[in-house]
Structure 1
Amino acid sequence: MVLAVLIVSYFFTRFSFVLTRYKKSIFTLFAFVLMAFLASNLTYSWSFANFNNRLVSVFDKVPLARPLRMNTILQKYGLVDREAIDTRRVNLSEGGLMNYPLNPLNCSPDKDYNILFLFVDTLRYDMFTEEVMPNTWKFAQENVRFNNHYSNGNNTRHGIFSLFTGLPGKYWTSSLTTGTPGVLISALQKRNYEIGIFTGAPLNMPEFHKSIFSTVRDLKVYPRGNSSVESDAFAVEDFEKWQSRLKPDSRFFSFIFLDSVHGYQFPPGEKYEVFKPYWKSINHMELNNSFDPAPYLARYKNAVRYTDDLIQKVLDYLNDKNLLNNTIVVISSDHGDEFNDNKLNFWGHGGNFTDAQIKVPLVIHWPGKKSANVEYVTSHLDLVPTLLPEVLGCSNPTQDYSVGTSIWKEAGRRDWVYSTGWSRDAFVEPHRIVLINAAGALEFLDKTYRPTKDRTIPPYLSEVLKENSRYVK
């Protein structure tokens, strides 16, 4: 003990001497680094808000970099015109960062299936039970259930982006600043599909209207309704009206994105007050590590039950119109939601990469395929490389447009998932989570988000870094 004190005293004395001797130089260096950090991030923030691709591109070429954005603050103080940003269309002829797909899509007629994505914002994997979602559960028993499916983001932006592009969330900024659409949308348009997007939340936050849906005509950015409950009901109603007006020989793709679960909202009355007692008035300031999550979770489940009825309404419509025999239906979510599952005071989503926040249900109705339970690991990255070759007849190698693989293929599949967050990314392995921050530093955690003794460097790290730069110029 005495020896330890002497050693600490020695190094403290030496450090004090060096600090005194080189105080001015150290202060100058620190000030320079701080000013450079502030200047670069403020420059990026301004450029990002104003779609200055040349400046933004400097940052986007740095793997896993996440510089500061201040759209909300710039709009608040009138430094950026929000309406101008919302309505601006990027001129694709200006070029940009994205080199995606690597080669033009070569798609020829194949199977004439319609495609419907039925997605629920913030639906965690363990809500998919007969008790909570009886309608969807019954439908799933007759179709293909993927029991180890993950979103490639712990937030809406990156989760939905990966779904429509087959790319990691790293490419989000490049897609947004260049107006590059998701390759799924491009392939559908190449095959002359009718495209209908119906959501319970605006498409400008995140800015899907200027990224993955940038080439969709007559896109409705703002939903109808004064609440998520109303907007979701209108989204389903608008889908039915839109589909019923299509020509009989039309092929269609539709994305219905329901928001009530994200807002913990459901219609008043006994019908949806299934789980009791539930938290009547949400106050996030009350959430802490000792807060009982049961009433909060009960309210969440009631919102899920309402959404389950909306899903059934869509399925009933398809059945009544005899569309199920030629329509692929994909039911899933953008990410999960946490109720302090691991007692680390995490609530909601966007905070970590545990199963509570990124593991989601996935059910696929594919005409001609028998019902099954799939246990191998899959992710949203796998939808695009399944649909493009098998439905839309695209003959390009998968590497031209995606880092995923066909969702039906088990052999050679990765047993880990790459997921993107706001300030960190994660490699979610079967028994641990490897975090990587913007500086490239690794952190090793177990599945409960606590430090693990297994600090083995992932052998696939170099492969992921290559994938994160493959589709930029």
Structure 2
Amino acid sequence: MNDGTLRPVYRTLIKILIVNYVITVLMGSQYIFHSSGINSFLSHGYLIIALLSNSAMQYLVLAALLYTLFFVVRGRNAFSIVSALVFSLFHLLCYTDISIYRIFKFHINSMVLNLVFTEGTGDSLHFGPTIFLMFGALILAVISFEFFLARWLYQTSGEKTLSRRRMAIVSLAVFSLILADKSLYAVADLYNVRSVTRFIKVFPLYQPLTIKKTMKKRFNFTVDNEDRITFNTEFSSIRYPASKLERKKLKSYPNVVWILLDAWRYDMLSKELTPNIYAFSKKSQVFGNHYSGGNCTRFGVFSLFYGIYGSYWHQFLSERQGPVLIDELKDLDYDFKIVTSANCSNPEFRKTAFVKIPESVSDRHQGQNAEVKDPKVTAVFLDWLNTRDSSKPFFSFLFYDAPHGPYSYPADFEKFMPSNKSPNYLTVGEKDAATLKNSYKNAIMFDDFQVGRVLDAIRQRGLLENTIVMISADHGEEFYESGYLGHNSAFTDEQTRVPLVMYLPDAGPGKIDYMTSHLDVVPTLMKRLGYTSDTGLYSQGEDLFDGRGHDNVVVASWDTCSVTGNDKSYTVFSLETYNAGSFEVRKRGYHIVDDDKDLMKAKKPALMAVLKGLRLFLN
């Protein structure tokens, strides 16, 4: 392709880059609109500059890509097709990322890809035909727009577009934006200006500039690290348990039944909503200030079975390390029955919690949703209960899925109205909170009915005399009470605080209000199985009935962690080394604390203990 052929292509390329850059910036403004804690002129100014700069850097990459492609592209039609495909894909990825950020406050990442491409995804994500039709129409509209835009710009391209003066102005503007953005963040990071540094994760692929090490080394600049939390997670092996456990032999061993309702939050245990569990709670111990170890299923269930921070998930998954609890129950010759509504391949519980008992897992039931599958969980367990060898103690885990969005239940349980069983998650907002919450409550009531059938069967067989029963949840669910929807997006009480009902054959009913955690369940059970070893050898929790409770609990997510205090404070920090210096402090109502030095000083001993705990079981 000669220079005469190339010139109209590159003149058009410059125009189309500018037009699409404007589109990207307008779309990207949604990141700012849906971010919380923007409470100063500095915050607003930084976010605007960062948006312009980050978008410009993305377009420099696109420009290089298209510049290369157009060496082999000939003619207006070929140019228009290639341009339309590249920019359409880019805009659709941006739109998808904005939709994810709007609801969950994170971007397309390894967790999102895991959900999309891992076996069993259909059990966790439910997309109706309306969403597919809307997205298909959107794709066609974007491609058509980009194609005709490219053709039109190609036809109207002029020589003036490539004037050196205009190119110099554009280049200077791009360079100035990027320099302003990186300089502003570097200075803010140097002086710990939270009104800037807290927004490091607002924009996708954003790369901050930090100069602390250089300033300290080259200019002897004093860096205030008093309130910084950093650590290194580059470990390759696991030390869990820390040493062999000791136990005393019991005359008989109790059966154990764990029942989880997906996304069942702390304020959804009542006589009206969960009559069967509520009635059972009247003869059990009820923990009114209990927290999951995660704000999503993966980390909530992990913390429950392992009794350690959810942050260990990644290492334990990579090494296929099962929980001490299952190992010890196997050694005690327990029977196992694991029945879940959703597929245990996603999250990967077949490779973690149940890796050593795959033959005991029933998780692949016929049906499209929990309305069909949850009753099968009950049926499978009851059939197994009727046929098992009653001479051996057993451990069973039942996991119901109906309260997980988009909330599934039969028409007979449509009690709370108006409801919405088929929300459009591309457009959902606070206006939909009431109807979504009603559907959620109907789904909880449906699963309470299933749990009631299980409890009746246990009772009728006389098993309550020697069975420990625990009923709880993997995490909670929010409906914009603190500005978020669903779970896995924040560490609010609505997303992390859950009910815990525990029945012990040798204990009467009671109510416990001190702060407890999923991490406490395993050491509580191990103690009642005759284990005398220090709980710190295999858990980061304590006996639920020790009478002390916690001042703080640790709640993990995919790449972040919260130290949640009994004073309703939340210290949120990254679990990834690439963002190890990013954290924020929030107080009651999940509001950001700007001047947090006094609180950080008071919390420092607890936070240092947590940091030590993050590597406790790693070599």
The interval holding the TM-score normalised by the smaller chain is: 0.7 to 0.9
Match of 1:467 in 2: 613
How far residue 134 of structure 1 moved from its aligned partner, in angstroms, is: 1.1
Match of 1:241 in 2: 383
Alignment check: 8 A CA contact 1:340 1:347 kept? yes
Q: Which SS does the other structure have where 2:384 is aligned?
A: helix
**Is 1:372 paired with 2:522?**
no
Match of 1:347 in 2: 485
Q: Which SS does the other structure have where 1:329 is aligned?
A: strand
**Is 1:255 paired with 2:397?**
yes
Match of 1:57 in 2: none
How far residue 246 of structure 1 moved from its aligned partner, in angstroms, is: 1.7
Match of 1:406 in 2: 543
> Aligned partners of 2:274, 2:112: CA distance in 1, in Å?
38
How far residue 385 of structure 1 moved from its aligned partner, in angstroms, is: 0.8
Q: Which SS does the other structure have where 1:460 is aligned?
A: helix
How far residue 268 of structure 1 moved from its aligned partner, in angstroms, is: 3.2
The partner residue of 1:389 within 498, 508, 527 is 527
Alignment check: 8 A CA contact 2:119 2:346 kept? no
1:385-438 CA-partner distances (Å, limit 9, x unpaired): 111122x22222111101110000123x32211100122110111231111123
Match of 1:415 in 2: 551
Residue 237 to residue 96, structure 1, CA distance change in 2 (3 Å): farther
Within 5 Å, give how 1:122-141 maps onto structure 2: 122-141=263-282
Within 5 Å, give how 1:2-81 maps onto structure 2: 69=110, 72=113
Alignment check: 8 A CA contact 1:266 1:272 kept? no
> Aligned partners of 1:268, 1:210: CA distance in 2, in Å?
33
The partner residue of 1:284 within 418, 425, 443 is 425
Residue 424 to residue 72, structure 1, CA distance change in 2 (3 Å): closer
Q: Which SS does the other structure have where 2:514 is aligned?
A: coil
How far residue 108 of structure 1 moved from its aligned partner, in angstroms, is: 3.8
**TM-score scaled by length of structure 2:** 0.60
Q: Which SS does the other structure have where 1:198 is aligned?
A: strand
What one-letter code is carried by the residue in structure 2 that aligns with 1:353?
A: F
Alignment check: 8 A CA contact 2:514 2:550 kept? no
Match of 1:54 in 2: none
Match of 1:14 in 2: none
The partner residue of 1:317 within 438, 457, 462 is 457
Within 5 Å, give how 1:91-240 maps onto structure 2: 97-110=237-250, 111-220=252-361, 222-226=363-367, 227-240=369-382
The partner residue of 1:436 within 562, 567, 573 is 573
**TM-score scaled by length of structure 1:** 0.78
What one-letter code is carried by the residue in structure 1 that aligns with 2:379?
A: E
Higher relative contact order (CA 8 A, sep 6+): 1
Q: Which SS does the other structure have where 2:585 is aligned?
A: strand
Residue 287 to residue 219, structure 1, CA distance change in 2 (3 Å): same
How far residue 106 of structure 1 moved from its aligned partner, in angstroms, is: 2.7
The partner residue of 2:470 within 314, 323, 330 is 330
Alignment check: 8 A CA contact 2:569 2:588 kept? yes
What one-letter code is carried by the residue in structure 2 that aligns with 1:203?
A: C
More displaced 10-residue stretch of structure 1: 272-281 or 451-460: 451-460
Alignment check: 8 A CA contact 1:107 1:187 kept? no
Q: Which SS does the other structure have where 2:591 is aligned?
A: coil
Match of 1:61 in 2: none
Alignment check: 8 A CA contact 2:406 2:421 kept? no
User: Number of matched residues?
Assistant: 389
> Aligned partners of 2:346, 2:119: CA distance in 1, in Å?
12
> Aligned partners of 1:268, 1:222: CA distance in 2, in Å?
21
> Aligned partners of 2:114, 2:511: CA distance in 1, in Å?
47
Unmatched segments (≥5 aa) in structure 2:
1-41, 43-56, 62-107, 121-234
> Aligned partners of 2:420, 2:111: CA distance in 1, in Å?
34
How far residue 72 of structure 1 moved from its aligned partner, in angstroms, is: 3.8
> Aligned partners of 2:561, 2:313: CA distance in 1, in Å?
13
Residue 107 to residue 366, structure 1, CA distance change in 2 (3 Å): same
What one-letter code is carried by the residue in structure 1 that aligns with 2:486?
A: G
How far residue 446 of structure 1 moved from its aligned partner, in angstroms, is: 1.5
Unmatched segments (≥5 aa) in structure 1:
1-7, 9-26, 32-66, 84-94
Residue 379 to residue 104, structure 1, CA distance change in 2 (3 Å): same
What one-letter code is carried by the residue in structure 2 that aligns with 1:432?
A: S
> Aligned partners of 2:489, 2:409: CA distance in 1, in Å?
29
Say what the alpha-carbon RMSD is for the aligned residues: 2.5
Residue 421 to residue 118, structure 1, CA distance change in 2 (3 Å): same
How far residue 248 of structure 1 moved from its aligned partner, in angstroms, is: 2.3
Alignment check: 8 A CA contact 2:288 2:512 kept? yes
